[in-house]
Every structure is written in C-alpha cells, then in structure tokens.
Amino acid sequence: MLKSILRKLPLFLANTVIALTLLCLFSWLVRETTKGKQWVPHNVSRAVTYFSTLPDRLLVAKAAVERLPLVFIPSPEDFEPVNTLEEDVKVLISYATANWKRKIVIKNLKTGEELKSWNVDRLANPHNRIMHSLMLPDSSLIYSLNGVTGIIKIDKNSERLWKQDTIAHHHAINMGADNTFWANTYNKDKGEHIYYGAQFSIDGREFPFIDNTITQFDATTGRILFHKSVTEILIENDLTHLLIKSDSPGDPLHINDIQPVLESSPFMEKGDVFISSRTSSWIMHYRPSTGEVVELIEGPFISQHDVDIESDSTIIFFNNGGQTLKGERPDAHRLADELLVVDEQFSGVLRYYLKSDRFEPIYPELFAQNEIFSFTESLVDAVPGGGYYIEEQNSSVLWILKDGEVKYKNILPSQHEGHHHLANWGRVMP
C-alpha cells in the first residue's frame, strides 16, 4: 500500500503544480481582462468574463425566478389618487399584460377608458419595457424595447411591418420633419451594443467610454437617413471638455432625448435637433445640415430628460435635480455642531428662453409640496387643453399639473397585488 502511494505521489504533485499554474494563469488573465487591457483578444475576453461571472449569473437567474419582472414596482402605501380633470387627456402608454407580453394603449386619463390598443407578444425577456412609442397618422406604431434592441414598426392590427436592427436604440423616439423620425442610438460592434467605442486621456490616464449616436430614419421603411457619433460632434465643434464634466467617466454622454425642429423660426431651423445629455447635464442645439452646434445650453439643472419644443422661442424639459451617481452621506470628517442646512431638493420642469438665455421653473411649489423627485428618466409633456403631464419615473406616479394645482395623480394598477406598472415614457396625444 505504502509503495503504491509513493509511486503515485510524484504524479499527484506534478498534476497539482500544473493545476495551480493553470489556475494562476487564469486568475491573472481575469485580472488583466477586468483592467481592460487592449492586448487581450476580444473572444478571449468574452470567454473569460463568461466563465468568471457564471456564479453571479446563476444567482441572478435564481433571483429572477423568485421575483416579479422589473416592469412591476411596489405601490406606495396609503396612496390617494386625484382626478379633477375637466377635459379628456389622452396618453399613449404601455404596460405588461403578462411576463412575456406587452400592451400599448391610448388611455383617457379622465375616464380611465382605453381608446385604442396594440399587442406585442414576442418578448425575449420578461423584464423588457416598451418605451416612448410613436403613433403615425395611419395608426401604425414605432417602438423599441429598453433592452437596447432595434426599432420595430407594427400596423394598426399589431402585425410587424419591419425591424431596423443595424443599430441599437436607447430611450426616446420623436417624429421629425417630412415623414422621418429621430432616435438615440448606439453602434453595434461584434454583435454587442454597449462597448467602449471612444477614449479620452488626462495626465497620461486613459478613459475608454461609451459613445452615443443620433439617427434619423424614414418612417415608412425604417431606412437610415442620417447617423452621427455624438463624440464626433464634440470633436468637430471643439467641445470635448464636456466629456470630463461628467461624474461617470465610462458613460459621459448618455443621450436620453433628441427633439427635432419641425418649423423654422428666428431661433431654430427646420431639421435642427435638440440633444439632451444626462450624465454631463447639457442640452445641445445641433444643425445636422452643417454639423454646427448652434448653442450649448447649461445652467441650473442636472441629469435632465425629455426636451420639448414649446414655442418658436422656448423649450421645456424635466430637471431631475440629482447627481447621476448616487453619493453616500460623507462620514470621513467630523460634522460641525451647527450645520448650515440647505432646503431639500426636488425635481422640476424648466422653461428656457432661446432669445434671452433665461430659465424659468414651472410650478416649483407643486413639486416641493408633493415632494416630486425622480433620480432617473421622467418626462414632461404639454397637455393640449393646458397644463403639463408629468411622469415621476422612480415611483411611477403620473401627474397633471395645471393652473397651480394637481389635477391628476395616479398609478397604473397591475394584476399583482401591491404592485403597479412601471412608467414607460408615455406620450400625450392631440
């Protein structure tokens, strides 16, 4: 027995050394991959990431089975809705009828009636949201999923007409001039849509980051008519300093809205677009026909969303009013015995006057009184009969503010008790 063990011992030790060597090499490769080293081949990097994150993905999969899809959120306790609307307010919204199915409807907020609906039953992920759908005059619908898929068009009967997936879409879709529409997009590379496609450097330190693109499409065919890197726009207009203003160096652009100009005026031309950057907190008036940045708008706002053209000389947008990255309460230093306390901050809606470069808050007292705050997303749309439709994204409470009052406050109740539907960037209809 002892002789047998002694004969096998050298082989066992050799195998152990080989196994430890391979383990050390794999660990080193994982470390180099996480550092983003350029010499690591892309396929090797993906394989290493796949194997090294397998336990995490198994835990995520287990949690996903045990919880509701993320399109449902817990409803506020003792929620009291408000509805004193005197006129119909029709909003194009989407919600989940089942884990793998979505419904898009035109809903009359005053009566709760659904006036028109479309069904989407082809989801590949139960957590996917249909965001900022766009209805055309023939009742066809253009939409995308928040999973950064391509853009899809369906007819009035929910039958698919086309899918444009040469690019990846993110967030907003808006109708442009001459039967076109604009969308925030990403380029695709090796099958991936989120990757580091650009880089800036400071003091010898390299910062790879996610580039964003803006795209104009033909609304009938889905064909791409204009496509431009936002980083290229910054380079061409000597605005690359905007990249280092962001508190998210890996995602310093994060474009969340493109609002096209449909008619020319003294302050904008038909075909211009207003571009909103969340993480750097700026709005850009851009002219695709010349490549010129007409105006860069910065001011008393942060992490803003949803720029809308209100008139020939004003725009409005939702000011989230909170840092892109949530900061924790600092505790590295001693607090003073008497602190200078600043009033609590809330989200809001701002109007910007292109002629005078002036900002004007809209109903700031209502935002403060009702503690309206949304860290991410959110939306404002002017209501045809007056007032503003607000989506408070994180809580997914829907509001209509008019004449200095809350005329409407509600959530979209779901089939799951204690939960309601996540807001998905509704659109006020004429």
Give the pLDDT confidence of 219-235 residue by residue, as tens digits.
999 999 999 999 999 99
The pLDDT tens digits for 98-153 are: 989 999 999 999 999 999 999 999 888 899 999 999 999 999 999 998 867 789 99
pLDDT confidence of 324, banded at 50, 70, 90?
A: confident
Question: Structure tokens of 237?
Answer: 């207009």
Pick from 66-75, 251-260, 399-408: least confident:
66-75
pLDDT band (50, 70, 90) for residue 164 = very high
What is the mean pLDDT of the segment spanning 56-76? Answer: 70
Number of Cα atoms under 13 Å in the Cβ half of residue 341: 4
What pLDDT is recorded for position 335? 84
Cβ-Cβ contacts under 8 Å for 206 (sequence gap 6 or more): 199, 200
The predicted model scores a pTM of 0.84
Question: By the 8 A CB rule, do 231 and 251 touch?
Answer: no
The burial of 336, by beta-carbon neighbours within 10 Å (0-12 exposed, 13-18 middle, 19 or more buried), is given as: exposed
Instruction: Inform me whether the pLDDT recorded for 40 exceeds 60.
Output: no
Q: DSSP E strands: which ranges in 121-220?
A: 130-135, 141-145, 151-154, 160-164, 168-175, 180-186, 198-202, 205-209, 213-218
Residue 64's pLDDT is 46
Secondary structure element (H or E) that encloses residue 319, with its range: strand 314-319
Distance CA 101, CA 224 (A): 28
pLDDT for the residue 41: 65
Lowest-confidence segment of 27-36, 140-149, 187-196, 281-290 by average pLDDT: 27-36
Share of the chain above pLDDT 70, in %: 83
Query: How does residue 170 score in pLDDT terms, banded at 50, 70 and 90?
Result: confident
- Checking if the pLDDT of 275 tops 50, the result is yes
Per-residue model confidence (pLDDT) at position 188: 87
Residue range 81-105: mean pLDDT, rounded: 96
Of 38-52, 57-71, 148-162, 223-237, give the range with the top mean pLDDT.
Answer: 223-237
**Residue 308 banded pLDDT, cuts 50, 70, 90:** very high
Whether the CB-CB separation of 165 and 124 falls below 8 Å is answered with no
pLDDT of residue 2: 61
Contacts of 247 (CB under 8 A, 6+ apart): 279, 323, 324, 325
pLDDT on residue 173: 97
At 53, the amino acid letter reads T
Residue 14 clears pLDDT 70, i.e. is over it: no
More confident residue, 17 or 289: 289
Q: Coil, strand, or helix at residue 152? A: strand
CA distance linking residue 8 with residue 217, whole number of Å: 70
First to last CA, the chain: 90
The mean predicted confidence, pLDDT, of the chain is: 89
d(CA 181, CA 216): 6
Looking at residue 62, what is its pLDDT?
Answer: 46
Q: What pLDDT was estimated at residue 124?
A: 83
